[in-house]
Structure 1
Amino acid sequence: MQGVLDLLEVAIIIFDQSGRAVYRNKAGARFDQARHGDAVVKDAINRMVAATLIGGAPEEELELLGPPAQVWSLSCEALRSDSQPQGVVVAVQDVTSLRRVEKVRRDFVANVTHELKTPIGALAILAETIATGDKGADTQELAERLVRESNRLGRMVDDLLDLSTIELQDAKDRRSIAVGALVEEALGRVSALARQRQVTLDFVSRGEEAISLLCDQAQMVNALTNLLENAIKYSDSGQLVTITAYRGDSRGGVVVEVSDDGAGIPDQDQERIFERFYRVDKARSRSTGGTGLGLSIVRHVVEAHGGTIVVESEEGEGSVFRLTLPNSSDVIEEENL
């Protein structure tokens, strides 16, 4: 039984009727000689054990501000003989990740509600103005605004569906594809936007032999398209957006960089730009038709393919988004092990 309990991530500690610990599983041993945050948890355990021995059976969730911030779930159950407590079993579980996920979900629902409410409200007002036949209203302008808002709403729904699909499918439809082909397809999708904003696009491929990825083509092109669109929208007329592909230094791998000379990203925003609906410049994002989901989609695609994404940026100097992904031979070799 002890071997089974030692496999649990939940800390199990048993106390006798005097409040002395007589058993700890492996996870519970950390609270024996506790320091820092663990010491706070240990104090809470002792307090709850004392309360349980006099008739209570408390449960508590303990939040530690850290760093690192942690959330612990503590529960006690009395061991009774003839209705008298003879000891206490305590279960202690680190629920930090669970609470973080719950918060992300709550925030996501709240953000979706807010983001959808704005264009839907605008559509309703514009439609009502046209329907009432307001003679002072410019019908052509109202119609154009209706189209813009409906397009914005459509893009947001499309991005939400893309994000959900990526999270569910986990890049299962993978095949070996040349990086150049992926980049060219993404460049084709953003060429009209680049011409409209008078931004120059450049593709640089380094390496003697063709570089390929084992990837879901639709997802990877979607990710590259989002990065390019983001770079174009935050660049000024006459500026350059460059996408570069090359082999990584360690154990092969493929690196794809999208760089621009645009506005750059403030330091305090760089850690949050991959969150759903997070915008550095809300006014500029909305004016350019952004949904606030593009970089979140990119991150999910890259992680689903076993890669990483980082950003380097300075305000007024531009940004570089760097994707590091396993190439075809790396992935095939790992899957054959």
Structure 2
Amino acid sequence: MLESLSLWWRSLLHRDDDMRNADDDTLDDSANALLSMLPLASIVVDDADEVIRAHPSAYTLGVVRDDAIVEESVLKAVREVRKEGGKKQFDLTTTTAQMAQSAPKAGKPTTREAARQALIGRRKDEPVSTVSRPNWLKVIVGRLNERFVVVLISDVSETIRFSQVRDSFITNVSEQLLKPTQSLERLADTLERDGADRNNIQENAAQLRRSCAHLEHMVSDLLLLIKAQEPILPTADNRINVMAQLKAVASEHTDKAALRGIAINVNGDESLEINGEAEQIQTALAKLVENAITYSPDGASVNMTAKPSEDGERVTIRVLDHGVGIDAKEQGRVFERFYRGGNQNGHSEDGIGLGLAIVKHVALTHHGSASVWSSPGQGSTFTLTLPLARKAGNERI
């Protein structure tokens, strides 16, 4: 990547002689044209450290704000290059705030308020919570002439994130595969040492069965995760009713919830339809309902709702519980593969950490999004936002 940056850099510096003869107050047209062609973010800074030209991504990547460079390392490099000439290359990590997520009314809601929030969504004056993500950048800083310094930024975040996900995936799968292997070894050792001790054999066999069940759960979720990443194209043949999916999932989990005195309530607009695969939608909803049951106290309730968005373009599906909630610092990671937060309990010990990753990918392949609001002690609300189905001629239903 740095080699490509350097090639573009040399092309840009070829404009230096022309710019020396141009008006020092502005960049000439050819320099502006060349900068606009660069396949990366560019920033031009004058001798007063004011940004006179910046690619929009320089703002979203957290390098520029209000026509000024806010990253101290970049500003320092700009000043050094302006004074000494040459160029500087370095790596930089910044943080970008992602989309604000809707937050239900502050404070512990009453039963009536909770039901109302689940049915109608948040008020416009309610607070929002945000999450952030890191950006990994390659930066080159160099002087165009005595007045202007240019900063070229290549965002390599996706490559690094992919590498991190791959490494984490391999590590987690390897750890999960070790458990049944270790259980099998213990059972074999018991049989070799004291095969007549039936109690030890039964204990080790039971542990092996639990480990195998855990492994089967993981493999099943991995297959679901792969399936959830297959793109869904809207057609006349894959229109499904949203409430039918909610009711099917609720019915499937009623008995399990009833064992702990938990009620599953379903409410919403019966006419809402989306384009999608019913199996995937039900899988995503099932993961949300299972989590809601797992992290709720006995005798609580889980609410599933579906309603159209204010603009009539999408459907908003919410699964709300009154459980332990999720700490704010963990909310930005809950959709990661194999991530398990610090709110585990006796009901979640067999979890894999793939359920919410499946939910996220089902949302994305259906051209929608997934988000969470949560507060420790108040519960969690997971939201799926999906496009409504289209009629012929692209008219909304």
Please indicate the TM-score interval, normalised by the length of the shorter structure.
0.7 to 0.9
Whole-Å separation in 1 of the counterparts to 2:265 and 2:295:
16
Match of 1:54 in 2: none
CA contact (8 A) 2:186 2:204 kept: no
- Aligned-partner SS, 1:198: coil
Whole-Å separation in 2 of the counterparts to 1:120 and 1:20:
70
CA contact (8 A) 2:190 2:200 kept: no
Equivalent positions of 1:13-28 (< 5 A) are 13-15=11-13, 24-26=34-36, 27=38
What whole-Å deviation, never above 9, does each CA across 1:125-170 have from its counterpart, x for those lacking one? Answer: 2454356426274433433332221111101011112112222x12
CA contact (8 A) 1:246 1:256 kept: yes
What whole-Å deviation, never above 9, does each CA across 1:257-302 have from its counterpart, x for those lacking one? Answer: 1111211111111111111111124753785421100011001101
CA contact (8 A) 1:273 1:280 kept: yes
Q: Could you tell me which of 271, 274, 285 is aligned with 1:213?
A: 274
- Aligned-partner SS, 2:43: helix
Match of 2:176 in 1: 115
Deviates more, 1:28-37 or 1:243-252: 28-37
User: What value does the CA root-mean-square deviation take over the aligned residues?
Assistant: 3.7
Match of 1:144 in 2: 206
What whole-Å deviation, never above 9, does each CA across 1:54-79 have from its counterpart, x for those lacking one? Answer: xxxx9x55124456854334689xxx
Q: How many residues align?
A: 304
Whole-Å separation in 2 of the counterparts to 1:271 and 1:188:
31
- Aligned-partner SS, 2:356: helix
Equivalent positions of 1:252-271 (< 5 A) are 252-271=313-332
Which letter does structure 2 place at the counterpart of 1:25?
A: L
Whether 1:323 and 2:384 are equivalent positions in the alignment is yes
Shift of residue 204 of structure 1?
1.5
Whether 1:180 and 2:243 are equivalent positions in the alignment is yes
Whole-Å separation in 1 of the counterparts to 2:292 and 2:392:
29
Shift of residue 31 of structure 1?
3.8
After superposition, the Cα gap between the structure-2 partners of 1:173 and 1:65, relative to the gap in structure 1 and judged at 3 Å, is closer
After superposition, the Cα gap between the structure-2 partners of 1:211 and 1:122, relative to the gap in structure 1 and judged at 3 Å, is same
Whole-Å separation in 1 of the counterparts to 2:314 and 2:392:
9
Whole-Å separation in 2 of the counterparts to 1:19 and 1:72:
29
Whole-Å separation in 2 of the counterparts to 1:294 and 1:98:
24
After superposition, the Cα gap between the structure-2 partners of 1:97 and 1:251, relative to the gap in structure 1 and judged at 3 Å, is same
Which letter does structure 2 place at the counterpart of 1:153?
A: L
Match of 1:62 in 2: 91
TM-score between the two structures when normalised by the length of structure 2: 0.65
Which letter does structure 1 place at the counterpart of 2:43?
A: R
Whole-Å separation in 2 of the counterparts to 1:162 and 1:47:
57
Whole-Å separation in 2 of the counterparts to 1:117 and 1:331:
53
CA contact (8 A) 1:61 1:71 kept: no
Shift of residue 232 of structure 1?
0.8
Whole-Å separation in 1 of the counterparts to 2:226 and 2:84:
42
Whole-Å separation in 1 of the counterparts to 2:162 and 2:394:
33
After superposition, the Cα gap between the structure-2 partners of 1:122 and 1:91, relative to the gap in structure 1 and judged at 3 Å, is same
Whole-Å separation in 2 of the counterparts to 1:286 and 1:21:
69
Whole-Å separation in 1 of the counterparts to 2:390 and 2:234:
17
- Aligned-partner SS, 2:338: coil
Match of 2:136 in 1: 71
Match of 2:121 in 1: none
Deviates more, 1:323-332 or 1:303-312: 323-332
Shift of residue 20 of structure 1?
10
Which letter does structure 1 place at the counterpart of 2:201?
A: T
Whether 1:158 and 2:217 are equivalent positions in the alignment is no
Q: Which structure 2 residue ranges, 5 or more long, are not aligned?
A: 21-30, 52-68, 98-133, 142-150
After superposition, the Cα gap between the structure-2 partners of 1:317 and 1:136, relative to the gap in structure 1 and judged at 3 Å, is same
- Aligned-partner SS, 2:351: coil
Whether 1:194 and 2:257 are equivalent positions in the alignment is yes
Match of 2:123 in 1: none
